[in-house]
């Protein structure tokens, strides 16, 4: 087991090693020799080839910079040099940063997409600080969970800026929900999406919830319950809706799938599901919450306890009611 002791010192030394353009360039050279075979172990690059590709003329100076990278970012063998896991992570960050350069998008129109709430066109896309936000200019949208609850918001979430490359706003509108789904599935399987560390999860209720007028003034959401995920290793914290998580639980998944909604591949129009959803907090300490999903006249009511286990409370369908009458 690796303990946290000395992590700070070691990280400090590693970052100091990177604070030089020639060294970052060496990492880029190794990264840009992309694999063209399925062999998972990369082919080492001999010293002479690496020196040749570098922008340094002095072999001694080049060797000095190379030596600073070996260990944390480069592995050395008799055949040459390869990137370590940390070296690849740095290379990816440099690559993504150089092509995206912290983009900011004010409010670009999203063509040919209708709002899932009002059915009208007129959606806009904004992007800032790693968060994409789609809003409807015709209706209130569905004040989503944080981070950016604001009038008209229909879809918001973190997505790396690389997602904006080679996608127009309409494509991003369709795809951003899948990225969110992907991150959420990683959390649900107990992995940190940033580092694969183990995740602790907790059902959290808004202390002072009042959503009678739409979104609660205290938590900014229609729903009082949400789930907090924290990585035991890197400390990453993610918040997710409880109802979104429920879509992957067995009873709700089966109900939704039977009604034409595939939670494994949600579409932006499925966001409207939350509009017909009702929540009832049945206990506070320990917390317990009931949700009723309604699709096409049929309903499913489930209960979630503080361990986040889900059980069916009741179910009704229009057709069975008719046949029973």
Footprint of Zn ion (CB under 5 A): 115, 117-118, 136, 138-139, 192, 194-195, 197, 206, 209, 216, 218-219, 231, 233-234, 236
CB of 89 to Zn ion, least distance (A): 13
CB of 201 to Zn ion, least distance (A): 13
Nearer to Zn ion by Cβ, of 18 and 231: the residue is: 231
Task: Give the span between the Cα atoms of 123 and 219, in whole angstroms.
Answer: 25
CB of 47 to Zn ion, least distance (A): 35
Residues 293 and 229 sit within 8 Å (Cβ to Cβ): no
Alpha carbon of residue 315 to chain centroid: 32
CB of 294 to Zn ion, least distance (A): 20
Q: Is the dihedral of CA 82, 84, 86, 89 positive or negative?
A: positive
Nearer to Zn ion by Cβ, of 133 and 216: the residue is: 216
Task: Give the span between the Cα atoms of 260 and 215, in whole angstroms.
Answer: 28
Residues 242 and 291 sit within 8 Å (Cβ to Cβ): yes
**Can you name the residues that pair with 190 across neighbouring β-strands?**
none
Nearer to Zn ion by Cβ, of 218 and 320: the residue is: 218
CB of 271 to Zn ion, least distance (A): 11
Strand, helix or coil for residue 65: helix
Task: Give the span between the Cα atoms of 82 and 78, in whole angstroms.
Answer: 11
Residues 98 and 67 sit within 8 Å (Cβ to Cβ): no
Task: Give the span between the Cα atoms of 215 and 276, in whole angstroms.
Answer: 15
Nearer to Zn ion by Cβ, of 53 and 204: the residue is: 204
CB of 155 to Zn ion, least distance (A): 12
Nearer to Zn ion by Cβ, of 1 and 325: the residue is: 1
Nearer to Zn ion by Cβ, of 90 and 154: the residue is: 154
């Amino acid at each position: 087991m690796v303990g946290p002791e000395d992590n700070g010192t070691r990280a400090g030394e590693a970052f100091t090693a990177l604070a030089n353009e020639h060294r970052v360039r060496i990492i880029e050279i190794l990264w840009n020799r992309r694999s063209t075979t399925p062999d998972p172990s990369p082919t080492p690059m001999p010293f002479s080839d690496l020196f040749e590709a570098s922008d340094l003329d002095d072999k001694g100076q080049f060797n000095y910079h190379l030596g600073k990278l070996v260990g944390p970012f480069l592995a050395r063998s008799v055949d040459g040099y390869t990137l370590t896991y940390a070296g690849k992570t740095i290379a990816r960050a440099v690559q993504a940063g150089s092509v995206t350069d912290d983009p900011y998008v004010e409010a670009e129109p999203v063509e040919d997409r209708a709002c899932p709430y009002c059915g009208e066109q007129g959606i806009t896309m904004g992007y800032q600080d790693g968060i994409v936000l789609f809003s409807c200019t015709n209706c209130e949208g569905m004040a989503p969970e944080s981070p950016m609850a604001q009038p008209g918001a229909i879809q918001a979430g973190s997505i790396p800026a690389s997602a904006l490359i080679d996608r127009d706003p309409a494509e991003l509108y369709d795809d951003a929900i899948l990225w969110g789904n992907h991150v959420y599935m990683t959390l649900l399987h107990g992995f940190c999406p940033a580092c694969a560390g183990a995740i602790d999860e907790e059902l959290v209720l808004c202390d002072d919830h009042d959503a009678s007028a739409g979104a609660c003034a205290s938590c900014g959401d229609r729903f009082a319950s949400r789930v907090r995920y924290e990585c035991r290793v890197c400390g990453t914290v993610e918040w997710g809706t409880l109802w979104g998580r429920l879509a992957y639980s067995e009873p709700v998944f089966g109900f939704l799938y039977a009604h034409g909604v595939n939670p494994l591949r949600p579409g932006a129009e499925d966001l409207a599901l939350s509009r017909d959803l009702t929540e009832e907090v049945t206990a506070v300490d320990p917390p317990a919450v009931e949700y009723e999903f309604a699709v096409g006249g049929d309903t499913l009511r489930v209960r979630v306890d503080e361990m986040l286990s889900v059980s069916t409370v009741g179910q009704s369908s229009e057709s069975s009611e008719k046949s029973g009458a």
